[in-house]
Amino acid sequence: MTELIKKTIINRKGGKMPSMQLTSQKDRPLTKGQVEYWTKRSNDQFDDRRSDLKAQFESIIQTNTDKKWKSFLKSLNVNHLIKKSEIADKNYQTFKDDKEKVERDLERKRDIAFNDLKERIKRFGKIRKWEEEHTEKDTVEGIIQYLKQCCYDECEKQFNNTKQAKPLDDIEHSRKKVEDFLNMSNVSTALLGLIKYQFQQVGIKSNGLLDSNIKELKQIT
């Protein structure tokens, strides 16, 4: 590519054919694309050949490695350290396996106890008509907080039935009476008396106008 090339082509009979002469010209710089192409093409060929040779030499290298392995370790004086490390690793793995087994067993027992607790609370929740669903609580601490709230609600309900809470009861009683007065249109005292009687029959405490003297209501209505 850098010099004038003169080539004589010999035919099959040994005769000479007219010579072909390439025109001399100065080399032009390769383009960027040409450089990248030939670089990649060359490297691919080199890599393929290198891989073929490495495959051929692999068995030789491995055979030599097997032969030298024991003497190699001995020269490093690490045999006792390797053995010590293997024992330590085995002890660790044994402990880890035992730990995982204990952990699984403890987890199983925890889940059983926790589910028993939730089921007991669920039964009492239905009986005592607790508002919040305990099943939303996924931890023991969450259930304890829930039970504290339920206990507070029951104590509040009990307190509201004492004499101390009468002012609160009076407020609600008066509020209910006002609501009843506003809805007295076309309601006879006989009907109010009948409703009050039915309430008393099933142990329902009358409130509002139903807690008043029905006969006196005739003067109002």
Structure confidence by residue, pLDDT tens digits, 12-25: 444 444 444 444 45
Q: Which of 13-17, 29-33, 47-51, 213-217 has the lowest mean pLDDT?
A: 13-17
Mean of the per-residue pLDDT values for the chain? Answer: 79
- Please state the domain count of the chain: 1
d(CA 163, CA 207): 17
Report d(CA 103, CA 96) in Å as an integer.
10
The reply to whether 219 falls in a domain is yes
Whether the CB-CB separation of 188 and 209 falls below 8 Å is answered with no
pLDDT band with cut points at 50, 70 and 90 for residue 203: confident
pTM over 0.85: no
User: From CA 99, how far away is CA 183, in angstroms rounded?
Assistant: 72
Confirm whether 175 is domain-assigned.
yes
User: Domain for residue 18, yes or no?
Assistant: no
**Residue 155 CB burial class (10 angstroms; 0-12, 13-18, ≥19):** exposed
Q: Does 84 reside within a domain?
A: no
What distance in Å separates the CA atoms of residue 151 and residue 41, rounded to the nearest whole number? 84
Are 194 and 214 within 8 A, CB to CB?
Answer: no
Better-scored residue on pLDDT, 210 or 51: 51
Helix (H) or strand (E) holding 20: strand 20-21
Q: Is residue 65 part of a domain?
A: no
* The two three-digit tokens of residue 132, written as one number: 């919040």
Burial class (CB in 10 A: 0-12, 13-18, 19+), 192: buried
Boundaries of domain holding 200:
165-221
pLDDT of res. 211: 65
158 found inside a domain = no
Contact (Cβ atoms closer than 8 angstroms) between residue 153 and residue 130: yes
Q: Quick check: is 48 in a domain?
A: no
**168 neighbors 156 (Cβ within 8 angstroms):** no
Flag whether pLDDT at 134 surpasses 60: no
